Amino acid sequence: MPVLVLLLLMLTGCMKTSDLAYESRYQLADAGLLSHHRIERANNIRIERDALLYIVQSHFPPVDREPYDVEPNALALETYKAFVEYFPRMRRSAVPLGLDEAFAGAQQEQADYLLYLRLAQAEDRMLVDQTVIQLMLYDPVRRRLVDNAHIPIRSGLLRSINNRPEDFLRRPMHDYARRLQGLGR
């Protein structure tokens, strides 16, 4: 124990407190003790705050889950809750839709952007859950893909008790919203 305290004191002399906290969180997440996600984006587009976003979840369940085993619109609901802080003008579909139906809904709502979401993978494991989310941001008028992202999420051992992969969605969606605003890394 005294060796650990001495090691921490030596490290704090070399690193800023914020760097030490970030590095500790990263190492604990890498070891599987804390939840971890990363956002892989194709483009670095920024969206104005007053843009109207229409959020729709694909009606396809993850390939490794049964349709009745996944909450029907959980991804769209969590995305809506995470995005509301950054984009006050949003709408979301009440039910999952196909892409053509989503375009029609976005045009009916007169949305500036269509955010189409898909839960590509959701694995319940005994200790650690994994989820992969795919996001496609479209210009609904031209039906052109503006940005797409791939977000792998891994729950941590300390947070995965009695949770499902869908329970770890809000923080990655919050980070993606920040990046769309130009506020994140």
Identify the top-confidence range among 17-26, 101-110, 118-127, 176-185: 101-110
**Residue with structure tokens 């940005």?**
147
Q: Is the pLDDT of residue 113 over 90?
A: yes
**Residue 59 confidence class, pLDDT cut points 50, 70, 90:** confident
d(CA 49, CA 176): 14
80-105: average pLDDT: 92
Domains located in the chain, CATH noted:
1-31 (no CATH), 37-181 (3.40.50.800)
Per-residue model confidence as pLDDT tens digits over 130-172: 778 899 999 999 999 999 998 887 765 555 555 555 567 788 8
**Residue 128 confidence class, pLDDT cut points 50, 70, 90:** low
pTM of the predicted structure, to 2 decimals:
0.73
Q: What are the C-alpha distances in Å from 64 to residues 32, 120, 166?
A: 22, 9, 14
* Tokens of residue 170, six digits: 């809000």
* Tokens of residue 47, six digits: 């969206």
Mind spelling out the 3-state secondary structure of 130-150? EEEEEEEEEECCCCEEEEEEE
> What percentage of the chain exceeds 70 in pLDDT?
59
Spatial neighbors of 99 by CB under 8 A, at least 6 apart, are 58, 116
59-63: average pLDDT: 67
Residue count of the chain: 185
